[in-house]
Structure 1
Amino acid sequence: MTVPIGLVWAEAAAGVIGADGGMPWHVPEDLAHFKEVTAGSPVVMGRRTWESLPPRFRPLPGRRNIVVTRAADWSADGAERAASLAAALEAAESSDPQRVWVIGGGELFREAIGHADRLEVTELDLEVRGDTFAPDRSGWQVVAADPHEGWHTSGSGIRYRFLRYERPA
């Protein structure tokens, strides 16, 4: 893989990124950030992540949507099926993008993080129960934070900040 790979997610305390097939919070600013970060790039996701997207947002507009699933007969309008992460990355690379984004879920993040050079994480100042967790970021370092110190406050009342991680040189 010669095209850079990034992972993007939002997480609450204890690394929670999902619960019951969705995100147990609503932070419109995170959704806008996600759209800005991934715009124009292929996005790779697992089937459950695809299914968690509201139907009106499937496929994610302005992005090539590649869904990883072992179900050989799976198909959805606007999405391409890939049998594995490797096959998804190979398909994404065929369009010569500047970057490929892996957008979830937890299993795909754990598999893809070893191939990534960048993580875009929205950290939420929120404790919620969850059943899906962010991958281990050992060996990664924060290279950018917005805000530099403290938190933004969402229109929904949740405090958040955007963190960019890279592997140390």
Structure 2
Amino acid sequence: MPVIAIAIVASNGVIGDGTRQPFEYAEDWARYKQVTLGHPMIMGRRTFEAIGRWLPGRTTIVITRHPENIEVPAGEPRLGYAVATLEDAFALAHSLDDTIFVAGGGRVYREAMDQVDELDLTEVHHPAEGSVLFPTIDPAVWRETRREPRGEFDFVGYARIAPLPPRA
């Protein structure tokens, strides 16, 4: 049951400014859709609001202090849920599928990293302005497993080499 953190990251580690990400590449968005389709995605409220809609073909689990304020669409298949904690998000995601994506923002990545098995990153070759950072990729914890150069950015995969703490 892999848990995969997915993000687009500037060369200086920036993933956003608190309201939006600094880079938008059509090829990256197409790949994001292809990779996450059919799987639950865990994200914070600000990331969800930056996307601006429930993404079809996958279940979005939004973490917020006030889940009652998130308008969740009705119907099946269920496009989304709102929960109060990361633990609730993981419990729900594990009940839905064997593959789970952690999709940001900065705080969610930091708090989830000890439960992440793989990283699926779009590494941009340029720095960006912003205060939201992706966690540092420690080579004692992560090993690069693939790199697909695309000009201004690379699609890069990492696998955890340090053991995960036991999952509850």
Normalising by the residue count of structure 1, what TM-score does the alignment of the two structures yield? 0.86
AA at the equivalent of 1:92: A
Deviation at 1:4? 2.0
Aligned with residue 66 of structure 1, among 61, 64, 79: 61
Which SS does the other structure have where 1:14 is aligned? coil
CA RMSD of aligned residues (A): 1.3
Partner of 1:142: 144
AA at the equivalent of 1:93: H
For the pair 1:93 / 2:88, whether they are aligned, the reply is: no
Unaligned runs of 5+ in 2: 74-79, 163-168
AA at the equivalent of 1:22: R
Q: After the TM superposition, which residues 99-118 of structure 1 pair with which residues of structure 2 at under 5 Å, given as runs? A: 99-118=99-118
Aligned mates of 2:92, 2:81 — CA distance in 1: 9
Aligned with residue 162 of structure 1, among 137, 155, 168: 155
| Aligned positions, number | 154
Aligned with residue 46 of structure 1, among 41, 44, 52: 44
Normalising by the residue count of structure 2, what TM-score does the alignment of the two structures yield? 0.87
AA at the equivalent of 1:166: A
Aligned mates of 1:10, 1:90 — CA distance in 2: 25
Q: After the TM superposition, which residues 16-55 of structure 1 pair with which residues of structure 2 at under 5 Å, given as runs? A: 16-54=14-52
Unaligned runs of 5+ in 1: 154-158
Partner of 2:125: 125
After TM superposition, which residue ranges in structure 1, 4 or more long, deviate above 3 angstroms? none
Deviation at 1:34? 0.9
Aligned mates of 1:37, 1:163 — CA distance in 2: 13
AA at the equivalent of 1:160: F
Aligned mates of 2:13, 2:67 — CA distance in 1: 32
Aligned mates of 2:112, 2:94 — CA distance in 1: 15
Aligned mates of 1:113, 1:120 — CA distance in 2: 13
Deviation per CA, 1:39-68: give whole Å up to 9, x if none: 1000110000000013xxx10110011100
